Structure 1
Amino acid sequence: MKKLFFVFAFLIPTFIYAQTIKTDVLILGNSDAAFAAGVQATESGVNAVVLTQSDGFKLSKIKNFPQTGVTKAFEKRARKSLKLADSIPLPEMNNQVLNAVIKNWSDSSKLLDVINNAPYYEIKRSGNGWEAKLTKDESIKAKVLIVTDNPEKIFSALKVQSLKIAETSPLNYAENLYRTTISGINGSSDFLSLYNLLIPNQENILYINSDNLEIGQAAGATAAYAAFYKTKTSLSSLKRIQGELLSYKLSLMPFEDVKITDSNWLAIHKIGITGILKADIKNGKVFFNPEKEVSYDEIKQPIKDYYYKAQIWFDDHKNIPINLENTISMICYVGNKAVEATKTEIQKKWNKNYKFSSKYDLKKALTRREFSVIINEYLKPFDDVNVDRTGRVIR
């Protein structure tokens, strides 16, 4: 069972009292980002209403985008609506067919509601949440608001003249902000930090670019976290949101050469986020180079940054090859594990669990793939070590 942060959620359907719809997350827009935000919020276990303010979604990326939780969820519903077996490729779908699938999805879902052709004429704060007035007698109340277009409609409610849109940053290892990523941007070297999604001095509202599917998914999970825990977006838990998005196969690092279908995708991403192994950035794209051998110099300082005991181990083991035997020595010293028992355990898992194509050999120089999987499992730097808003390691 996936260890999602909404694992104990009760599936409470959207309900209506008089003419007020109450929901957890309200998304404004009809774009790829609006669709992805609504799907991810519901996949994460909360209610979401997407108010398209038009005759439906205008989606451009959903058909050709790499498989993530959002696209897989859509494909599942599309196959059901079109009565297609898994073995049959989905046909080319125009927006009319896409919206027909989404309508069937919305009509049968307890959590997702899509409302078309219903513009709002006023939106305002309502307690810690929001209220959008559709007519004099009809409104939608939500805990968290996601805006994907026309932000000027809510300026008066916020008493501002502009609103900060979520901005991505190019991967730059001279800074540590990449450790706070909640989305890598496909085909680029850019990522979105959680702290560039949150709006300073504005709670429970997110403003995102309309055409970015990945950022929409990240915003949906962030909004769902605040709604589920009845908290403010400024109190978002970075690790829980990252973990939720990883469980739904959103690439948090924009690795060009590590596909979602890779059996070691999760471990590589977790180690990539820590910076213990750093990728190469070439021509605006990011390459993890999973089959390249690990060098002593590239891991020495990053591991020491994460673990005090690593300082002693590296002082006692200078300029040694990073083979399997030495890596086991390091993880056992730093993680207080028994060496022989760890060797036996890794040997059993080498091909069957880890899906490595190589043979178990203690003298084997480890690839970045193999090193990532072992460090992730036995030291857990991503899961067990926190970082601050700038990505600095907190020990």
Structure 2
Amino acid sequence: MNKRYLFFCLLVVLPVMALPQSKRPQVLVYGDGVDAYAAALQSSMSNLNTVWVINGDVMMPELTSEVISITANADLDAGVWADLLAKTLRHDRRSDSLSAIAKRRINPRIVQNVVDSMTTVYKNLTIIKGGEARSVKKSRNDWRIELADGSRFRIRAVVDASAEAHLYRLAGREVDSIRARTTQPENYFQMGLHDGLSRTGVAVGDLDDRVFTLPLGALAPADDSNLFLTRCLPALQGLLRHTADDIPLLMHVGQAVGAAAAYTAFYKTTSDKLDARNVQGELLQYGARLMPFVDIPIESPHFAAIQRVGAASVLLGRLDEVGRLYFDPDSAVTADEVQPVLNRLFSRSQIWFVDHADVDTLTLADLFSYIKFVGQRGNELEGQVEKNWKRRFQFEDDYDEKQPVTRRRMAVLLDVYCRPFDVKVGLDGTIQR
């Protein structure tokens, strides 16, 4: 055979042979609900090859069957859920005001059109409608899943978002045995969201108007299986109302679980080795809320910085009488309220506070002094901040080093120059400096 002809044939065949290997699924999501949608979309956005097996004929029946209205999660809608709400009103950018308007009357036909358009954007997302799992087996580091039509998948991470934990049971496990990595204390939903587990928060919601954030460990398997669950998790059992008001929380949980599953698949690791800050950072990139501050709108230019600093417990929220959490962005900051956690985050922090024991309400100049000492910044800091005061940092009032530093300004400047969110935390919220 002519060698040049043989070489040409190889050039034609090799890309075809390589295609399935490059497109090999890494995450499989099973279920037809809103949590399955959010998990599949987040996994795809995280650039993982994702298969979404819809175990039914209808995608997201909670939203696509009839006209509904939702009252839950006022000022807490975020992530892919807020994106969907905005797009039902023909807007490309999410906002709290759009979410509030959209939730008053959700039209199933419009939702279906939006979902169809959003799911086609991600070429690494494969959707199988009417799929039914027949067998689920663990094989070393992967799961082998076979569908009733004979389709087979070898998957690193699996999200079982079915209402009856179908994959979990097919894997030979009992639903009564479902456990999460972290068990919240009984009074978790009555406690202030100040530190500990809330540092690892990944999904916000409200219960009788009292806001909360679910920690990552409460959504992760208790073992190293990479078999994730959504609505059958113990943490959700006392939170779901079995009404349309469950949708925002399920969306947030699904997105968080999707990010966690994507993390294990991308890093070829196991669910017992989840990195809380990595998963939280990925969620923030796609507009999720970690802390349920109801007075910081998602469209705020300072939203992400305040979320990060809040999750680091540098600036704690204020709970009102019904349990709504406020950041109070324009309130002044005192040394006493930030010193304990800053001393735990940064080794040099204690020395600065000892040397400035007479400081009560922090001024902008005090914050500069702290940043230069702890973050080892030079004397050019003030000039940089003044130059970027309105253009980059988008502060509205005039630059004045003598003015008390507000919680908003401190959050933004600490986030940029000291990066407290980068300090690792365990799944139990323990700071790991």
TM range (shorter): 0.7 to 0.9
Asked if the contact 1:103–1:114 (Cα under 8 Å) also holds between the matched residues in 2, the reply is no
Is 1:36 matched up with 2:51?
no
**Which residues of 2 match residues 320-335 of structure 1 at below 5 A?**
320=359, 321-335=361-375
Q: Which residue of 2 aligns with 1:164?
A: 179
Residues 1-395 of structure 1: matches in 2 within 5 Å? 23-56=25-58, 57-60=60-63, 68-71=78-81, 74=84, 94-103=107-116, 105-106=118-119, 109-135=122-148, 137-148=150-161, 149-151=163-165, 154-155=168-169, 157-160=171-174, 161-164=176-179, 169-170=188-189, 172=192, 175-185=195-205, 188-209=210-231, 211=247, 212-282=250-320, 283-320=322-359, 321-339=361-379, 341-383=380-422, 385-395=423-433
TM-score, normalisation: structure 1: 0.83
Q: Give the partner amino acid of 1:323.
A: T
Which letter maps to 2:362?
Answer: I
Relative to 1, partners in 2 of residues 1:162 and 1:193: Cα closer, same or farther, differing over 3 Å? same
Alpha-carbon shift at residue 219 of structure 1 (Å): 0.7
Question: Structure 2: how far apart are the matches of 1:155 and 1:28?
Answer: 13
Whole-Å separation in 2 of the counterparts to 1:86 and 1:245? 18
Amino acid aligned to 2:47: G
Could you list the per-position Cα deviations for residues 75-118 of structure 1 after superposition, in whole angstroms to 9, with x for gaps in the alignment? 79879xxxx6869x999664344335434554664212222222
In structure 1, stretches of 5+ residues that fail to align are 1-13
Structure 1 pair 337–105 and aligned structure 2 pair: CA distance change class (3 A): closer
Which amino acid is 1:155 matched to?
Answer: R
The superposition leaves residues 168-191 of structure 1 with CA deviations (integer Å, 9 ceiling, x where unpaired) of: 753645751211222233664211
Distance in structure 1 (CA, Å) of the matches to 2:418 and 2:122: 40
Distance of 1:151 and 1:277 partners within structure 2: 39
- CA deviations 1:232-289 (Å, max 9, x no partner) are 1222222221111111110111111111111111111111011111101221221111
Query: How far 1:130 moved relative to its partner?
Result: 2.2
TM-score, length of structure 2 as denominator length: 0.77
Further displaced range: 309-318 or 112-121: 112-121
C-alpha separation in 1, matches of 2:378 and 2:122: 50
Query: How far apart, in 2, do the equivalents of 1:40 and 1:153 lie?
Result: 20
Q: Deviations over 1:46-92 (max 9, x none)?
A: 1222222111222449997866442466479879xxxx6869x9996
Specify the alignment match of 1:10 in structure 2: none
Report the Cα offset of residue 195 of structure 1.
Answer: 1.5
Q: Distance in 2 between matches of 1:85 and 1:328?
A: 39
- Unmatched segments (≥5 aa) in structure 2: 1-17, 233-246
Distance 2:49 2:430 in 1: 34
CA-to-partner distance for each residue in 1:196-227, whole Å, 9 max, x for gaps?
22111241111112741111111111111111
* Identity level (%): 26
Does the 8 A contact of 2:193 with 2:212 survive in 1? no
Q: Check whether the contact 1:151–1:163 (CA below 8 A) recurs between aligned residues.
A: no
Q: Which amino acid aligns with 2:165?
A: P
Query: Residue 137 of structure 2 contacts residue 171 of structure 2 at CA under 8 Å; is this kept in 1?
Result: yes
Q: In angstroms, what is the RMSD of aligned CA positions?
A: 3.2
Looking at structure 1, the residues matched to 415 and 387 of structure 2 have their Cα atoms a distance apart, in angstroms, of 17
What SS class does the counterpart of residue 394 from structure 1 fall into? coil
SS of 2:171's partner is helix
Shift of 1:312: 1.6
Q: What one-letter code is carried by the residue in structure 1 that aligns with 2:272?
A: S
Q: Secondary structure at the match of 1:392?
A: coil
Q: Separation in 2 of the partners of 1:140 and 1:94?
A: 35
Change (3 A) 1:313 1:97: closer
Aligned partner of residue 23 in structure 1, secondary structure = coil
Taking structure 1 as reference, are residues 357 and 381 closer, same or farther at Cα in structure 2, changes over 3 Å only? Answer: same
Greater per-residue helix proportion: 2
